[in-house]
Amino acid sequence: MISVLGSGAFGTALAISLSQNGPVTLWSRDAEQAQLLQTTRENSKRLKGLTLPEAITVTADLETACAAQTILLALPMQQTGAFLALHAQRLKGKTLVSCSKGIDLSTGLGPTALIRSTVPEARAAILTGPSFAADIGRGLPTALTLACEDGAEALQEQLSTPTLRLYRSSDTTGAELGGALKNVIAIGAGVVMGAGMGDSTRAALMTRGFAEMTRLAVTRGARAETLSGLAGFGDLALTCTSSQSRNFRHGFALGAGETIDPNVTVEGVATAHAVARMAEKGGIEMPIAVMIAALCDNRMTVAQATLALLSRPLKEE
């Protein structure tokens, strides 16, 4: 038995995929929304056009959802810390698999580190990698990383489905930083395309952005190979090149000077700020991430950020 907490686009998509294996409970914080999903069998607010299979039960009752031993957390990153703290008692002893991509601004922790610090009696894992909710929900073939410090063979078996192939890892730091940092670079890729700078500029930004992702992650104890895998390079490639990505679209709007919809979940904005802080505090060179944080706050124009990056001292690759 598996539960998914959070009935947004990703939680709903994962519930659909996992229901190929057996019963799944999908929890929504909103009782009306839970009732609507349960009766219409569609999440028209977050994942329109896909049918919830019969194996999914939608509920707003957290106690029912927490009866499962394996619980997937599919909440926006900045809401996760408060949620875990509030429900720590109920969640202890469970395997908590975070599906979020970000860094908590108030603590500087990624999802598994946040779980370990807030619910130390739980087992923390992370599911991450290149996967748009709509693609997972439609059952398109997808490969992701499942990271858990104590090895994840049984969990890997439990969460793999006929269309979702999981690769296991014990490097939770690398997996969670890969997923968080690629969103920052995806905003940058969107800015480049929105401002009309073109494919060559985007390739340069992605490559140098990947170097920053790896540098920061390795400094924090991650393995460089994890960043080269699905959780890092794979997700970077997807998110920087697809207008399905909300982070890419956010950057595109910034670059094109278009209005931004504040109701869309764009994890890269808070993450860019968290990274800028870490870079400053730890003396880590993260020029692209720092520029993206400044662009998101309108502290800098695209032209200023571009000039600042191009005029940095020349160096070896």
Ligand X SMILES: NC(=O)C1=CN([C@@H]2O[C@H](COP(=O)(O)OP(=O)(O)OC[C@H]3O[C@@H](n4cnc5c(N)ncnc54)[C@H](OP(=O)(O)O)[C@@H]3O)[C@@H](O)[C@H]2O)C=CC1
Is position 194 annotated in a ligand binding site?
A: no
Q: In angstroms, what is the minimal distance from the CB of 242 to ligand 13P?
A: 8
Of 193 and 231, which has the nearer Cβ to ligand X?
Answer: 231
Q: How many residues bind ligand X (CB under 6 A)?
A: 24
83 binds ligand X (CB under 6 A): yes
Task: In whole angstroms, give the CA distance from residue 48 to residue 192.
Answer: 30
Is position 245 annotated in a ligand binding site?
A: yes
Q: In angstroms, what is the minimal distance from the CB of 287 to ligand 13P?
A: 22
Residue type at 35? Q
Q: In angstroms, what is the minimal distance from the CB of 217 to ligand X?
A: 17
78 binds ligand 13P (CB under 6 A): no
User: Do residues 312 and 285 make contact, with C-beta atoms less than 8 angstroms apart?
Assistant: no
Please list, in sequence order, all residues whose beta carbon lies within 8 angstroms of the beta carbon of residue 79, skipping any fewer than 6 positions away: none
Task: In whole angstroms, give the CA distance from residue 165 to residue 94.
Answer: 23
Contact of residue 79 among ligand X, ligand 13P, none (CB under 5-8 Å per partner type): ligand X
Q: At what angle do helices 199-219 and 287-296 cross, to 10 degrees?
A: 110
- Reduce the DSSP state of residue 198 to 3 states and report it: coil
- Interface mask (CB under 6 A) for ligand X, residues 117-136, using x and -? --------------xxx---
Q: Please pick, among 48, 92, 94, 182, the residue that the annotation labels catalytic.
A: 182
Task: In whole angstroms, give the CA distance from residue 183 to residue 265.
Answer: 11
Token duo for residue 34 = 């839970």
99 binds ligand X (CB under 6 A): yes
Task: In whole angstroms, give the CA distance from residue 128 to residue 19.
Answer: 19
Q: In angstroms, what is the minimal distance from the CB of 235 to ligand 13P?
A: 5
Question: Using the rule CB under 6 A, which residue among 1, 22, 30, 304 binds ligand X?
Answer: 30
Question: Using the rule CB under 6 A, which residue among 57, 169, 226, 247 binds ligand 13P?
Answer: 247
Token duo for residue 154 = 């049984």
User: Do residues 84 and 56 make contact, with C-beta atoms less than 8 angstroms apart?
Assistant: no
Select the span of 30-38, 59-67, 205-213, 245-253 touching ligand 13P (CB under 6 A). 245-253
Task: In whole angstroms, give the CA distance from residue 237 to residue 149.
Answer: 26
271 binds ligand X (CB under 6 A): no
Going across the sheet that includes 123-128, the strands are 56-59, 24-27, 2-5, 70-73, 95-98, 123-128, 142-148, 164-169
CA distances to 72, 197, 221, 306 from 191, in Å? 32, 9, 30, 10
Question: Using the rule CB under 6 A, which residue among 43, 131, 160, 161 binds ligand 13P?
Answer: 131
Active site residue 94: no
Q: How many residues bind ligand 13P (CB under 6 A)?
A: 13
Task: In whole angstroms, give the CA distance from residue 289 to residue 188.
Answer: 8
Task: In whole angstroms, give the CA distance from residue 10 to residue 131.
Answer: 9
Question: Using the rule CB under 6 A, which residue among 21, 35, 41, 76 binds ligand X?
Answer: 76
Interacting residue ranges for ligand X, rule: CB under 6 A: 6-11, 29-30, 46, 74-77, 79, 83, 99-102, 131-133, 265, 267
Indicate the annotated binding residues: 10, 29, 101, 129, 131, 133, 182, 235, 245-247, 267
- Positions annotated as catalytic residues are 182
Indicate the annotated binding residues for sn-glycerol 3-phosphate: 101, 129, 131, 182, 235, 245-247
Interacting residue ranges for ligand 13P, rule: CB under 6 A: 101, 130-132, 183, 186, 235, 238-239, 245-247, 267
